[in-house]
Structure 1
Amino acid sequence: MQRDSAQFRAEVVGSFLRPAAIKEAREKFQAGELASEALRRIEDEAIREVVAHQRASGLKIVTDGEFRRAWWHFDFFAGLDGVERYEAEQGIQFNGVQTKAHSVRVTGKLGFGHHPMLEDFRYLQSISGDAVAKMTIPSPSVLHFRGGRKAIDATIYPDLNTYFDDLAQTWRDAIKAFYDAGCRYLQLDDTVWAYLCSEDQKAQIRERGDDPEELAWIYAQVLNKALEGKPDDLTIGLHVCRGNFRSTWISEGGYEPVAEILFGSVNVDAFFLEYDNERSGGFEPLRFIKPGKQQVVLGLITTKNGELENRETVKKRIEEASRYVSLDQICLSPQCGFASTEEGNSLSEEAQWAKLRLVVDIANEVW
């Protein structure tokens, strides 16, 4: 699969607004009024419909909308060996909004075994037709960063170097497992790199006893170890997210603080970067993108509201970005998913699909 093919110019990050049928079914399931098999059948049908909508919008890459998940990350983490999901004292604080009080911690040796999302991918691929089925999972960096040292059992991992080795191996095994299941396009979602661009977030990192610069190097090494031995026909993208819960955000600041480490050393095939507002800074950091080797997917279309962007303005921003990285290496997408959690963002399904059609139309005009 060649990422320089024209079919990849118009991209999608992953999640979509949950339809009413999914929300109702999950409520009944949680109340004990619906069996797991019935829930899955309802999810199957909703996923079939969201794939059809993506293809009708002109996309050649499709996802399952993350319809089987409540969270973009916790559901995946909970399926790993050695990870326990629990009720936290408080949720994650976004800009004026707080999430449900859920979290995860490492209580055993990390590993990737019979993960339920492998079957989720197989179903997606079975209904994708001639479109490429893209699987989205969180990045390994997120599992460590969310809780830090205090969320890792010290009797299991007294030495964090061993933990980071196992973290990389767990994702390396996950990558192989998805590949063996037929996946040829895997996206790692990562909020941490955006936190490392934020002065406010870096201050909080230092307060808890960590060094932001050291963490950047550690996470780059973990990612590269996870990617060792990646098959040539497997594309792996990294989405750098600034927070997307119910149309809010967490981090602000341009990519310059991490650009040289992230773009210059992390061996993914594509970087999905949020550029939908002034909080994201300028395009200058893109000068570190490896020439001819990686693509940068510009998230110039916001998923946080339903207002449709001006296509000429978007095209001018693509042109501006091409001063720092070749136009041949640029693609276009929304800045994030439309529903990083089951609550979803503040826009309608109609606006969601209008946004995606705009991405496809602009990509066809530019390339």
Structure 2
Amino acid sequence: MSSTSRNEPPFRADHVGSLLRPQGLMRARREHEDGRISAEELRHREDEAIRDVVRLQEEVGLQSATDGEFRRASWHMDFIYQLGGVSKAPGDMKVEFQNAEGKVEFTPAALRIDERVTLDHTIFGEDFEYLRSVTTRNTPKLTIPSPNMVHYRGGRAAISEEAYPEMDEFWTDLTDAYAEEIRRLGELGCTYLQLDDTSLAYLNDPRQREQIAQMGGDAEHQHETYIQNINRALSGKPDSMNVTTHMCRGNFRSSWVAEGGYDYVAEALFGGLEVDGFFLEYDDERSGTFEPLRFVPGSKMVVLGLVTTKSGRLEDKNLLKRRIEEASRYVDPEQLCLSPQCGFSSTLEGNDLTHDEQRAKLELVVQTAEEVWG
């Protein structure tokens, strides 16, 4: 199809971010929770595990490397709870995940915004510096939740009306905090940042929009508000930093929440979100067709998440190539890349596959991309 390689993110062969935690690291977390090892010892064990997983990413031929989110319990809350003004709240909203076997109920961590949102320190700053120190040839990539994730789960009800009589003030403080975080990450040398966002995929599902309406939100236009606020957060990003966003419909122990193609948000999202690339879940029929990709402008990349992280079954390389070719009917093949559809371990429990199966999938992504793009 093409022989054009890429030397800047997103790369032809890439991955979303989280990776299966090694058993030794899981054991160290339990020992720390039980008071048997110190926070310093836990961080030392995390350092060792991250160094090993960076080597894995380099060995399989990827051009980017993350820390696997090994220091986190979840992909988003470990970041969000570090914002000033955000506190933990009792979790009482049950989210129903689904998989091939049936349904899984999960009560996610909840939050409350009692005071004005601020950035008190560079969140994940030390984590990024360590990642950068142990990459030898790959581009270190940091993943953080989109600002929308601070709002999506609880909406207006989770935000104190004393702190924020008007929602515009909340969004101003939140996007200012994110803009400052991004500026500081740039100063630390971060050139590849990913904003993870389930909301922009969830809002394609009519059932999710119905829930937003029941909570008093503007279900028909919430995605437009979200796009505007990501853009505000990115307005001062360093020229040297490439920013992508990843959207999925839920990823918890091989289960999912929402379904529906990108059609509902596509025109506003692809045309209006000021990122360099989109990581899009496309591993099964829940994600819809490639037709919404016709709205992607020529300046932006699309990373097709064709390889599932929800099972260890290895995809057929020829089928992946056919699907890439199908997507190229709607967007220039030079704008396409390949990745798994989501992280392998959005929470520390991880998805239902082995470390060997995870490696095989990453190798498949690299091999397929080399054969398609050179």
Normalising by the smaller structure, the TM-score range is: over 0.9
User: Which position in structure 1 is the counterpart of 2:217?
Assistant: 210
The verdict on how the C-alpha distance between 1:116 and 1:160 changes in structure 2, with shifts beyond 3 A counting, is: closer
User: Which position in structure 1 is the counterpart of 2:367?
Assistant: 361
1:110-149 correspondence to structure 2 within 5 Å? 110-149=117-156
More helix by share: 1
CA distance, structure 1, for counterparts of residue 237 and residue 358 of structure 2:
33
Paired residues of 1:74 and 1:85 also in contact (CA < 8 A): no
Q: Does 1:190 align with 2:192?
A: no
- In structure 2, which of residues 283, 288, 294 is the aligned counterpart of residue 276 of structure 1? 283
CA distance, structure 1, for counterparts of residue 368 and residue 6 of structure 2:
17
User: Which position in structure 1 is the counterpart of 2:71?
Assistant: 68
1:317-336 correspondence to structure 2 within 5 Å? 317-336=323-342
1:285-324 correspondence to structure 2 within 5 Å? 285-291=292-298, 293-324=299-330
Paired residues of 1:79 and 1:115 also in contact (CA < 8 A): no
Cα-to-partner distance string for 1:63-120 (whole Å, 9 max, x where unaligned) = 0000000000000001111111233125533222133552112121112221451100
Q: Does 1:36 align with 2:39?
A: yes
What secondary structure is seen at the aligned counterpart in 2 of 1:246?
coil
Paired residues of 1:71 and 1:341 also in contact (CA < 8 A): yes
CA distance, structure 1, for counterparts of residue 192 and residue 123 of structure 2:
18
The verdict on how the C-alpha distance between 1:98 and 1:115 changes in structure 2, with shifts beyond 3 A counting, is: farther
The verdict on how the C-alpha distance between 1:124 and 1:91 changes in structure 2, with shifts beyond 3 A counting, is: farther
Cα-to-partner distance string for 1:310-349 (whole Å, 9 max, x where unaligned) = 0000000000001111011000000000000001000000
What secondary structure is seen at the aligned counterpart in 2 of 1:50?
helix
Paired residues of 2:83 and 2:117 also in contact (CA < 8 A): yes
Q: Does 1:150 align with 2:157?
A: yes
Cα displacement (A) at 1:227: 1.0
CA distance, structure 2, for counterparts of residue 299 and residue 87 of structure 1:
34
Q: Does 1:77 align with 2:83?
A: no
CA distance, structure 2, for counterparts of residue 190 and residue 54 of structure 1:
23
Q: Does 1:55 align with 2:51?
A: no
Cα-to-partner distance string for 1:256-306 (whole Å, 9 max, x where unaligned) = 100011001010000000000000000010011111x11000000000000
Paired residues of 1:87 and 1:101 also in contact (CA < 8 A): no
1:208-287 correspondence to structure 2 within 5 Å? 208-287=215-294
User: Which position in structure 1 is the counterpart of 2:166?
Assistant: 159
What secondary structure is seen at the aligned counterpart in 1 of 2:105?
coil
What secondary structure is seen at the aligned counterpart in 2 of 1:98?
strand
TM-score (norm 1): 0.97
CA distance, structure 2, for counterparts of residue 237 and residue 116 of structure 1:
18
Cα displacement (A) at 1:213: 2.3
CA distance, structure 2, for counterparts of residue 90 and residue 146 of structure 1:
9
CA distance, structure 1, for counterparts of residue 297 and residue 26 of structure 2:
42
Cα-to-partner distance string for 1:163-210 (whole Å, 9 max, x where unaligned) = 111121111111111111111100000000111100111111111111
Paired residues of 2:92 and 2:107 also in contact (CA < 8 A): no
CA distance, structure 1, for counterparts of residue 28 and residue 156 of structure 2:
37
The verdict on how the C-alpha distance between 1:250 and 1:101 changes in structure 2, with shifts beyond 3 A counting, is: closer
CA distance, structure 1, for counterparts of residue 315 and residue 108 of structure 2:
34
Give the letter for the 1:312 counterpart.
Answer: N
Q: Does 1:107 align with 2:110?
A: no
Cα-to-partner distance string for 1:104-138 (whole Å, 9 max, x where unaligned) = 12121112221451100000000011210000000
Q: Does 1:27 align with 2:30?
A: yes
Paired residues of 2:183 and 2:236 also in contact (CA < 8 A): no
The verdict on how the C-alpha distance between 1:87 and 1:31 changes in structure 2, with shifts beyond 3 A counting, is: farther
CA distance, structure 1, for counterparts of residue 239 and residue 334 of structure 2:
20
User: Which position in structure 2 is the counterpart of 1:5?
Assistant: 7
Superposition RMSD in Å: 1.5
What secondary structure is seen at the aligned counterpart in 1 of 2:89?
strand
Paired residues of 1:306 and 1:347 also in contact (CA < 8 A): yes
The verdict on how the C-alpha distance between 1:309 and 1:101 changes in structure 2, with shifts beyond 3 A counting, is: closer
Q: How many residues align?
A: 365
What secondary structure is seen at the aligned counterpart in 2 of 1:94?
strand
Q: Does 1:18 align with 2:21?
A: yes
Paired residues of 1:4 and 1:329 also in contact (CA < 8 A): no
Structure 1 residue runs without a partner (length 5+): none
Paired residues of 1:80 and 1:115 also in contact (CA < 8 A): no
CA distance, structure 2, for counterparts of residue 116 and residue 280 of structure 1:
32
Paired residues of 1:91 and 1:102 also in contact (CA < 8 A): no
What secondary structure is seen at the aligned counterpart in 2 of 1:245?
coil
